[in-house]
Structure 1
Amino acid sequence: MNALREVIAVVVFIVAVVSLSNLVLNGFDGRLLIATVICFIAAYIIWPSKRKGARQGDNSLLDIIEFIIELPIDLFLWLFRSITRIFRSNDSHLDIDL
C-alpha cells in the first residue's frame, strides 16, 4: 500500500513542478497557481512520511524523495512562522501559532 502512495505522491509532485514551471514561463494564471499549490499539498499529504511513522524501512532513495516532496511545504511553513514572529509581541493582540 505504501508503494502505491509513494508512486501517486511522486506523480502529483511532478505535475505540481510542471505546473509551476508553466506558470513561470508562460505568465501568471490564478487557476494554475491554485492547482499548483493544491498539487504540492496533496503530494505532501499522500506521501508516507517517516516523520509521521508511516514508513519504517531505511531506503536512501526514498529518504531523498521524501525530502524533495516535503521541502516546498516545509519552506512555506518556515516562512509563515518567521513572518508571524515579526508581528508577535507582548503588546500586540495579533498572535498566530501553528
Structure 2
Amino acid sequence: MAYTLHVIGGRWKASILYNLLEGRMRYNELRRAIPGVSERMLVAQLRELEEHGLVKRNVFPEVPPRVEYELTELGKSTEAMLQCMSAWGNMHRQKEQVVAAQ
C-alpha cells in the first residue's frame, strides 16, 4: 500500500489518472477537467506519473506543438482501484451532506 500511495498519492494524481481513463487528452483539456489545479502542479504531477510509467506524453511535430497525454497499460491497470475510490467518495460525500443539512 505504501508504494501505491507513493506512486499515485497526492492531491491531483488520482484525478489526472481518472480523467485519462476516458482516453487521450491534451494538456488544456486536462487542466479544464481538474478545477483548482495550477499549471505548475499539473505539469509536475504529469511528469511524476510519466516517470512511474503510468502516463505517456505524445508530442506531435506541428506548429504550435500539440501534446497529448494517455494512460499506458500500467496506468490502465489502475482503473478498478480508481473506480472504487470514486464510488467510496461519492457514497461518503452524500452521507456528509445529509449530516451537514441536519
If the length of structure 2 is used for normalisation, what is the TM-score?
0.34
The structure whose residues are more often strand, as a share, is: 2
The structure whose residues are more often helix, as a share, is: 1
If the length of structure 1 is used for normalisation, what is the TM-score?
0.35
